[in-house]
């Protein structure tokens, strides 16, 4: 269990007081690499692997990593259903909030989010931001080895979300982010239904609607080297329809207040 840190230092030296939630499904080869890089970059940080009963044995690998970590920094949650990235993150958030971590971080298992750049997100939290997004599309952000089709879809989705929601976040679909625990406690996680990558837009939108400050910091996003992306047409359709619905609801609410 993490001890509560003074408000003046939400995250201590080397990541003390922060939890990184890493959802996994068939990431047996990637997981040991990313966990090692993370604990090398932030030696006091804690990790929660949320495995959705991976048939390739990722859960067993996670259990072994936890057993081998004498410092007790690695934790594992085994879920019996695979019902989307969003649900896995929600389970991880609930676990972290119960254990009083001051900051909870989202990170992919595939190496696309560099653990060596996590300090940028944590520094922005220390500087007063409520939600920090590791952004590909602010000055200094980079894409490495990403197919042009994926880049086109990503930039298009972000442009669409900005226009539909009236939000100024340049990379609202990004999945490398850090939350103050107070954000997750307030934004109504029990009402979140988004299951795919739309989950990222959903939580950012809820954060904005609740008056929290979002800051973007530049990161280098690297296409996974092992296995394939889990993005599919259903994920894109869910995002398109939900964003339209949220945008209309937001504009109606603003009109009603006038």
| Mutual angle of helices 85-98 and 198-209, in 10-degree steps | 50
Reported as a single tens digit per residue, the pLDDT across 35-45 is 999 999 999 99
| The overall pTM is greater than 0.85 | yes
**Token pair for 143:** 């894409």
The pLDDT > 70 percentage for the chain reads 82
Q: How large is the average pLDDT for residues 68-91?
A: 94
pLDDT over 90, % of the chain: 69
Among 178, 179, 173, residue whose Cα is nearest residue 158: 173
Please name the residue ranges forming H helices in 49-128.
58-68, 85-98, 118-126
Task: Provide the pLDDT confidence category of residue 6 given band limits of 50, 70 and 90.
Answer: very low
């Amino acid at each position: 269990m993490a001890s509560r840190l003074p408000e003046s230092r939400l995250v201590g030296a080397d990541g003390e007081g922060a939890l990184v939630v890493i959802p996994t499904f068939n990431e047996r080869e990637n997981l040991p690499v990313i966990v090692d890089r993370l604990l090398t970059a932030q030696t006091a940080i804690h990790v929660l692997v949320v495995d959705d009963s991976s048939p390739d044995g990722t859960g067993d690998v996670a259990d072994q990593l936890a057993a081998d970590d004498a410092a007790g920094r690695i934790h594992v949650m085994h879920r019996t259903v695979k019902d989307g990235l969003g649900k896995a993150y929600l389970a991880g958030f609930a676990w972290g909030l119960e254990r009083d971590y001051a900051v909870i971080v989202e990170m992919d298992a595939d190496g696309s989010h560099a653990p060596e750049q996590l300090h940028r997100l944590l520094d922005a939290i220390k500087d007063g931001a409520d939600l920090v997004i590791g952004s590909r599309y602010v000055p200094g952000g980079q894409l490495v080895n990403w197919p042009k089709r994926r880049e086109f879809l990503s930039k298009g989705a972000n442009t669409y979300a900005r226009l539909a929601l009236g939000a100024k976040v340049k990379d609202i679909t990004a999945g490398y982010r850090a939350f103050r625990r107070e954000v997750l406690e307030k934004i109504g996680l029990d009402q979140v239904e988004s299951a795919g990558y739309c989950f990222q837009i959903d939580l950012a939108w809820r954060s904005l609607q609740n008056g929290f400050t979002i800051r973007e910091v530049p990161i280098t996003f690297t296409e996974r080297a092992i296995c394939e992306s889990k993005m599919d047409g259903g994920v894109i359709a869910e995002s398109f329809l939900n964003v339209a619905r949220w945008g209309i609801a937001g504009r109606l609410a603003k009109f009603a207040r006038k």
